[in-house]
Structure 1
């Protein structure tokens, strides 16, 4: 009985360890000392989502899985940041991550950066995020700043060609270039029937998913 309890105790310790921001996937120099969302005089957040209450599954190149409770994507640092129970913020080591299931999305490490899967299958398109600073208003007479600069998070799409990611603008012309002639007419018919637009990202995903189902 005592041996069984000891075994159960150690199994519990291992299970809890797997759910922590594990040392073997955290960057050695990734401790964030000052995590102010923005620099002095710049409003807005550098994080992709407002909430940290997100459970993510991190898969390593060895297909080892970790469940992390408090995680967010820092667009400025271009990496995921995990929050420990003590409130410390640590960046993940990109080299030790294969992909992350995060907020109903999958972020793959391609090269040394994270890209969100946009369309996976016959046509592989990925999404990346980047940070821009929008200048505040300036008084034309005094040249004094009337409002602070502000961070804004933007995104762009990339088409996978072989092993390379090429920036891709999702115009109707560019999208239909990806389709075979035999299936293009079926896609057009489906778009018309479902009233789908390529300009809307969610609807574009539906269009690409539909294309992948065609035989």
Structure 2
């Protein structure tokens, strides 16, 4: 008979802010003061396929233009610029966004893009004050983001650090993550859940 894990894995599916993207949140509590949160883009394959189609259509138009019409440098340049834009957009498709909090060590965020390109950020826990869901206005729309409030020397350079913003998770998704992440940060800072800030 298998033993139940002390810290079970939690999974939940959400929509992104713009409702076009589906996100799966996986939370792994590895110990009393360690948590790993993964946001997986369930729409990744659809987004990738759509971008492949757009690139193929652009290449087809370019080939037809090259073979059947008189060439003009301006049109060549426009079609090449569109192709470069589509390729750059494809490289920015997000596969996974994650945040790991290791009490006593650091907070690490990592975003995985198309072709497994990764961008990471590392912040020692001694500079973490708290985490908050903050509202921001972007393009005349109110969005919610999860931020890390800093302290000590980092506070003067970056008082707040937005995390897991790439997939634009909805407010319900952020609340789901916030409750668990904040508990770990408060536990590390020596504040019990009854005495929350």
Specify the TM-score bucket, using the shorter chain as the normaliser.
Answer: under 0.3
Q: Could you say which structure has the higher helix fraction?
A: 2
Larger RCO, structure (CA 8 Å, separation 6 or more): 2
